[in-house]
Amino acid sequence: MRILFTALFILLPLCAQEKQENKEKKGPPRPPQNLKVLKVTDPREVGQIMRTFTAGLGVQCNYCHVQDRASDENPKKEIARHMIQMSMDINKNFPDGKMHVTCYTCHRGEAEPKTAPEAKPAQ
């Protein structure tokens, strides 16, 4: 039940967001212009990765972006670049080289991840 609720909570805003973006789109998506960390060229792949960020942090695209996605004007984007690099470095150190650690591993749907457990009510 709780998982279902969480899934809805994450998915519903994403759907609304996507509809709005489709309306603004003119023609096919252009290839990325300003990638410094991600090694991808397919705009659809960029979109998939970006959705792991919004879901992982529980934010919308404009948390890290201004209207022009290639712009570095929003300072959160540079922080996110460091986080991507850090996550890549962590995953590199797993013996099987697979991606075990994602944004969600630490962030759990929050922009500022908890570094200690929440205080539990006394039993």
**Closest distance between ligand HEC and the C-beta of residue 57, in Å?**
5
Find how far residue 37's CA is from the centre of its chain: 14
Identity of the residue, 98 or 123, whose beta carbon is nearer to ligand HEC in the bound complex: 98
10 sits near ligand HEC (criterion: CB under 6 A): no
Write out the two tokens for 65: 């972006």
Measure the CA dihedral 50/109/59/22, to 10°. Answer: 50
- CB neighbour list of residue 38: distance below 8 Å, 6 or more residues apart: 32, 46, 49, 84
Q: Which among 117, 20, 2, 6 has a CA at the least distance from the CA of 60?
A: 20
Identity of the residue, 79 or 121, whose beta carbon is nearer to ligand HEC in the bound complex: 79
> Using CA atoms, how far apart are residues 74 and 59, in angstroms rounded to an integer?
14
Q: Scan residues 27-66 and list those touching ligand HEC (CB under 6 A).
A: 32-38, 46, 50-51, 53-54, 56-57, 59, 61, 63-65
**Closest distance between ligand HEC and the C-beta of residue 23, in Å?**
13
Identity of the residue, 10 or 46, whose beta carbon is nearer to ligand HEC in the bound complex: 46
Cα atoms in the Cβ-side hemisphere of radius 13 Å centred on 33 = 7
**Closest distance between ligand HEC and the C-beta of residue 94, in Å?**
13
Binding site for ligand HEC (CB under 6 A): 32-38, 46, 50-51, 53-54, 56-57, 59, 61, 63-65, 69-70, 76-77, 79-81, 83-84, 87, 101, 103, 105-107, 111-113
